[in-house]
Structure 1
Amino acid sequence: MERTETTPAHTRINLGDVEDSAAAHGFGAHQESRFATRDLGAERTGVGFHRVKAGRRQAFAHRHDEAEEVYVVLGGSGRAKVEDEVFELTRLDAIRVSPGAARSFEGGPDGLELIVFGQRHEGDGEILQGWWPED
């Protein structure tokens, strides 16, 4: 979007005020998922905040055909599974996930808080149920 006199120079929100999509879709026992793109008025950037509950895995994995995403751990710890690799995550770890790669996250003893961002591609996403089954 090109900035005009009627277009604001910035938008500020608190991610905690964004609707929790996980709870709205019945996944509240596993996680919180707050997608802030629309609330921010962003047109080209996708932004989300995820809180995976302690000792839980996200309810499903996902992948994108077009979008590259970057995840940054804000708090807690846990694990990520990207394709066939499982690895530990701690505060301020950042990971980039390529288009086409499946990913999911698991909360450690204190849970896992992540912010995710990348270029927005409307309708670009595939949900993968049972991709990282419980041990």
Structure 2
Amino acid sequence: MSSRPAGGYSIAAREDALDFMAQYPGYGEQRWYSDALGTEQVSFSWRRMLPGTGGRGSYGHRHPGQEEVFFVISGTVTFKVGDDVFAAGPRTAVRMTGEEFYSVHNDTDAEAQLLIFSTRCAAAPPEKMDGFWP
């Protein structure tokens, strides 16, 4: 359904957005809308995290020089940023500066949903740190 009418806007349905989590059945979805919308400046993803899923026990990552904002729509998500661990609930925004390694996880028994925004740029791939969140 992705379209680019002459009126100066574009529309993308969920099915038009690439699902980063498709290769990980049982982990939910992370739909990247930027290509489907044809954005030039904004990167935008919607993430649906099933209970017990996310980065715990995995690697942390960061995007040096790139700011990201996570907005919790529903549920509660646990963030690990550097050595800090905290929970964020609905209508809470968390800004990542790109300086610290981070990871997110859904530690609850309920689904959580997030919006993730950043500038869209041809930056280097994220830096990863294995064993970040044992």
Question: So what's the TM-score if we normalise by structure 2?
Answer: 0.80
Q: How does 1:45-56 map onto structure 2 within 5 Å? A: 45-56=42-53
When the two chains are superposed, the root-mean-square deviation of aligned CA atoms in Å is 2.1
The answer on whether the counterparts of 1:37 and 1:47 sit within 8 Å (CA) in structure 2 is yes
Helix, strand or coil: the match of 2:11? coil
The answer on whether the counterparts of 2:17 and 2:35 sit within 8 Å (CA) in structure 1 is no
The answer on whether the counterparts of 2:59 and 2:131 sit within 8 Å (CA) in structure 1 is yes
Q: How does 1:7-26 map onto structure 2 within 5 Å? A: 8-15=7-14, 17-24=16-23
Give unmatched runs, 5+ long, in structure 1: 1-5
11-20 or 104-113, larger mean C-alpha shift: 11-20
Q: How does 1:11-90 map onto structure 2 within 5 Å? A: 11-15=10-14, 17-24=16-23, 27-58=24-55, 60-90=59-89
Letter in 1 for 2:127: E
Percent identical residues? 26
Deviation by residue 1:61-82 (Cα, 9 ceiling, x = unmatched): 3210121011100111121111
State the shift of 1:20 in Å.
Answer: 1.3
Helix, strand or coil: the match of 1:9? coil
Give unmatched runs, 5+ long, in structure 2: none
Helix, strand or coil: the match of 1:96? strand
Counterparts in 2 of 1:20 and 1:100: CA distance versus 1, 3 Å: same
Helix, strand or coil: the match of 2:86? strand
Aligned residues: 126
State the shift of 1:116 in Å.
Answer: 0.5
The answer on whether the counterparts of 1:64 and 1:100 sit within 8 Å (CA) in structure 2 is yes
State the shift of 1:94 in Å.
Answer: 0.6
The answer on whether the counterparts of 2:16 and 2:36 sit within 8 Å (CA) in structure 1 is no
